[in-house]
Amino acid sequence: MSIQETATKIVNEFSLFDDWMDKYNHIIEMGKTLPMIDEKYKTDQYLISGCQSRVWVSAELAEGKVIFKADSDAVITKGIVNLLIRVFSNQAPEEIIDADMSFIDEIGLKEHLSPTRSNGLVSMIKQMKLYAVVFKTKMKEQQA
Amino acid sequence: MSFDVLKIRKDFPALHQQVYGKPLVYFDNAATSQKPEAVINQIAEYYRTINSNVHRGVHYMSQQATDAFEGSRKRIQEYINAANHHEIIITKGATDSINLVANSFGRKFLDENAEVIISSLEHHANIVPWQVICEKQKAKLRVIPVTEAGTLDLKAFEQMINDKTKIVAVGHISNALGVVNPIKKIIAIAHQHNVPVMVDGAQGIVHDSIDVQAMGCDFYCFSSHKFYGPMGVGVLYGKEKWLEEMPPYQTGGEMIKSVTFEKTTYNELPFKFETGTPNVADVIGFKSAIDYIDGIGMESIKAYEDEILDYGIKKLKAIDGVKILADGAPKAGVISFLIDDIHPYDAGTIIDKFGIAVRTGNHCAQPIMDLLCIPGSIRASLAFYNTKDEIDRLAEAIITVKEMFA
C-alpha cells in the first residue's frame, strides 16, 4: 500500500466517528498495536524533543524500505506515533520525504499540528523524514 | 456579606465563552489570570486619550501620562505597604525582577567565597538566573531540600546558612504544588545571619495580602498578569538600602543623570533601574487591577479561594486513584494531582475536550518533579471567579479519563 493509500484508509477509519471521544478511543486503541522499539533504543539519542511525554523512534533500512519502531510513556502519544508509523513504515525513503501530511488535518487532528502543541507531532514527522533523508543519502552513496 | 461569585464572574468577559461547545472552565490561573472589564477599558482609554512618553516631555499629554504612571507606582507601594514609592521598580514581569536582583546584587556581592540559597520548590525563573550569576561570579548555589510532606526542610536550611551566604531567594507559594512556604520563619532565620531575602511572590501576591514591611523581606517580586492585570508588567520591591548599593542592571535612556563620552552618572531610584520607555499603558492598567481587587478585598478573596480549594481537594480525593501532590502541606490556589498511572499529558488532552483548561507537565519546576519521581502533574489552579460547579465538572472529566485509559 502506498503512503497515499494508507492515509486515505486512515481518513476513512476516522470518518466513522462523530465525536471526539470515539476518535480518541480509536487513537488509544492504535497505541496498543504500536511496533515497539527495542528497550536498548530507549535512550536520549532516540528521544524526540518538544514533547511533554517521552517518545522514542528508531528506524532501520531493510531492502530499500524504512522500518520504524517507537514507544512513549503516554498512551495518546503512542497512538499518534503509530498513526505515523502506519503511513511511513515499509516505504522507500524518497516516498517518506515527499509525503503529503494533509490527511492529519482531514482526520481532525489539526490542533496537534500546531508547533506550540506539546505532543510533538511536528517533531515526530520531522524526525521520521530526517531518518528517510539519511537513508536516501546512504543509498545514493552505495549506488555511486 | 457573602461572596457573590456569579456577580463577580460578570466582570470577566473572557470567562463567558464556549470551548468545544461547552462552557469554558478556566483552571489555569497560576499561568495567567483573566482580566476584569475595568482593566481592559483602562488600557483602551489610555491609548484613546493620554498616550505619550513619560518623564521626558514638558507638554500636557506627557505630563498626564507621567502622572498616571507614577500614580500606579504609588498605588502599588500603598497596596504592598512599602515604605517608599522609590522602592517600587517597574519591570516586565516577575522573571525580569528576579533577573534584575540576580544580576545587579550578584555583580556587587557575589564572589568565589560567596553562597546563594534557593529551594527545591522554585520555578525555573528563580533557579536559572541564580545558576547563571553564580557560575559567572564563581559563587556556590545551595538548595533547601523538601520533606516528604512537600514542605521546605527548615532544619536543613538552618544548617546550610552561614557566613558565606549572601542572599536567600525563595518562592512565597509554589506554582507547581501550591505549597505555602513559611516565609516569615525563613526571613527570621536569614536575618539572624544578616542575610537578605528575596521572595518570588508571583503566586503569593495573588492569594494573600502582602505587607512587605510586616513580612520583613528585602525584595519581593511579582507579575501583573497573574494578578488580574495586563501582561508585560512586573514589580520589584526592594529595600532602599539594597537598591542604593546595587549597580544598574540594564543601561540606556531614563536611568542616567548625565552622559558624556567620558562618564555617565546614574539617575536616582527608582529610575536607575528603569531604562527605556516603560509599558505605560499596562502599568496604568495594573493600577485598575489593584483597585478592582482591593474593591472586593483580599480577605474575602482568600476566604472564598480557601473554601473552593478545600472543596476541590475533597472532591478529587474522593475519586478512586486520584493522588494529590504534597497533600497535607499548607496550600493556596492550586490542586496538583495524578490519576492512577495515567500520564498527565494523556489526562490533560482529554480534560481539555471537556472545555476545561488545566495545565499538565512540570510547570516550569522540573527539579521538584524529579524529586517526586514523576513526569509532571495535572494542575488545576483556582481563582476567586471559579465555582464549585466547575470543580464538579472537573471531577466528571476525571472519571471519564479513568474510563478511557482503564
Region B89-98 average pLDDT:
98
Contact call for B345 and A53, based on CB within 8 A: yes
Report pLDDT for A119.
57
Region B96-103 average pLDDT:
98
Instruction: Give the A window 25-84 contacts with B, CB below 8 Å.
Output: 25, 28, 52-54, 73-77
Chain A residue nearest residue B364, CA to CA: A52
* Of B53-67, B68-82, B218-232, the least confident: B53-67
Report angle CA A97, A101, A107 to the nearest 5 degrees. 155
The closest CB to that of B360, out of A25, A28, A52, belongs to A52
State the average pLDDT for chain B: 96
Residues in chain B with CB shorter than 8 Å from the CB of A27 are none
Spatial separation of the C-alpha atoms in residues B336 and A132, rounded to whole Å: 41
Instruction: Give the B window 296-355 contacts with A, CB below 8 Å.
Output: 342-346, 349-350, 353
The class of domain B5-30+297-404 in CATH terms is: alpha beta
Domain ranges for chain B: 5-30+297-404, 41-294
Domain ranges for chain A: 3-137
Contact call for B349 and A53, based on CB within 8 A: no
Cell numbers that stand for A46 in this block: 532516540
Instruction: Please indicate if any CB of chain A lies within 8 Å of the CB of B396.
Output: no
Mapped onto helix, strand or coil, the DSSP state of residue B109 is: helix
Q: Is the domain A3-137 a CATH 3.90.1010.10 member?
A: yes
The closest CB to that of B343, out of A25, A75, A118, belongs to A75
Task: Please indicate whether the domains covering B5-30+297-404 and B41-294 agree at the CATH topology level.
Answer: no
Report pLDDT for A116.
53
Cell numbers that stand for B193 in this block: 545571619
How many C-beta atoms surround the C-beta of residue A112 within 10 A?
Answer: 20
Report pLDDT for B384.
98
The closest CB to that of A73, out of B20, B343, B350, belongs to B343
Cell numbers that stand for B108 in this block: 556587587
Region B355-383 average pLDDT:
92
Mapped onto helix, strand or coil, the DSSP state of residue B126 is: helix
Chain B residue nearest residue A22, CA to CA: B404
Residues in chain B with CB shorter than 8 Å from the CB of A118 are 345, 361
Instruction: Please indicate if any CB of chain A lies within 8 Å of the CB of B164.
Output: no
B115 vs A48, which has greater pLDDT? B115
Q: Is the domain B41-294 a CATH 3.90.25.10 member?
A: no
Out of A7, A48, A51, A83, the active site residue is A51
* Of A50-54, B17-21, B63-67, B87-91, the least confident: A50-54
Report angle CA B89, B94, B95 to the nearest 5 degrees. 115
pLDDT at residue B118 greater than cutoff 60: yes
Instruction: Please indicate if any CB of chain A lies within 8 Å of the CB of B361.
Output: yes
Could you tell me which of B399, B373, B87 has the C-alpha nearest to residue B244? B87
| Phi/psi-derived region of residue B364, left when phi > 0, alpha when psi is between -120 and 50, beta in every other case | left
Residue from B28, B339, B342, B343 to probe the interface with A (highest A Cβ count within 10 Å)? B343
Report pLDDT for B256.
78
Residues in chain B with CB shorter than 8 Å from the CB of A76 are 345-346, 349
Instruction: Please indicate if any CB of chain A lies within 8 Å of the CB of B162.
Output: no
Mapped onto helix, strand or coil, the DSSP state of residue B397 is: helix
Residues in chain B with CB shorter than 8 Å from the CB of A24 are 349-350, 353, 404
Could you tell me which of B222, B387, B201 has the C-alpha nearest to residue B305? B387
Spatial separation of the C-alpha atoms in residues B329 and B149, rounded to whole Å: 6
In degrees rounded to 5, what are phi and psi of residue B336? Answer: -105, 125
Region B334-359 average pLDDT:
95
Distant-in-sequence, close-in-space partners of B60: CB < 8 Å, separation ≥ 6: none
The closest CB to that of A74, out of B20, B343, B404, belongs to B343
Region B181-209 average pLDDT:
98
pLDDT at residue A117 greater than cutoff 60: no
pLDDT at residue A118 greater than cutoff 80: no
What is the distance in angstroms between the Cα of A24 and the nearest Cα belonging to chain B?
8
* Of A130-144, B19-33, B134-148, the least confident: A130-144
Contact call for B344 and A52, based on CB within 8 A: yes
